[in-house]
Chains A and B, each alone.
Chain A
Amino acid sequence: GENVEQHPSTLSVQEGDSAVIKCTYSDSASNYFPWYKQELGKRPQLIIDIRSNVGEKKDQRIAVTLNKTAKHFSLHITETQPEDSAVYFCAAKKNTGFQKLVFGTGTRLLVSP
């Protein structure tokens, strides 16, 4: 089955710096890759996703890139702000029949003022 690895497990940056979180997946048939943000004690919320027919997607300060050949995808946050501090999860799934999302283990991002 699918396996998703996520790195780093923790990431500390200064406000205004960029942050990059990377994930690799094992199943080349996976074609949907979402990123979730979870603030302390809250539910995970989708912040951006990408499908395998595109290589990059941007939404204001966040972007996701996908390298299908290498089977990895990354979340990029520019001009980080303290409110970006949270745990970020990547995930992957196939679009054949019913498929479950397989999550990475999460990255705790701390943005210091």
Chain B
Amino acid sequence: DGGITQSPKYLFRKEGQNVTLSCEQNLNHDAMYWYRQDPGQGLRLIYYSQIVNDFQKGDIAEGYSVSREKKESFPLTVTSAQKNPTAFYLCASTSTGSSYEQYFGPGTRLTVT
């Protein structure tokens, strides 16, 4: 599981609370991504960051926020504005060099009740 870590593996929250999901990588990758995956569904891009202190919205950014203060870290905050936050969240990273491979973290399963 080395390379990209996400914590915690399972997270439970009450509706109306903000929650922050951690993502750390030691691959020296420049770009990092957050995806959301619902049961039986594909990968939907929430936010991505090419470099430190810069990030862009993906396809489903509403109700989420991110920061990229360090190259190694790209935390995702699920805010109370996100209508259906229960999902499996995957963080990923890629080098902007010659290797195109995108590496995924183990994921965090968030349940909001």
Contact = CB atoms under 8 A, between A and B. Distances in A.
Interface in A1-56: 32, 34, 41-46, 49
Interface residues of A, number: 20
A41 B106 CA distance: 9
Main secondary structure, interface of A, reads loop
B107 interface: yes
A43 B50 contact: no
B21 to A, nearest CB: 14
A93 B104 contact: no
B42 interface: yes
A49 B99 CA distance: 11
B76 interface: no
Interface of A: 32, 34, 41-46, 49, 89, 93, 95, 98, 100-101, 103-106, 108
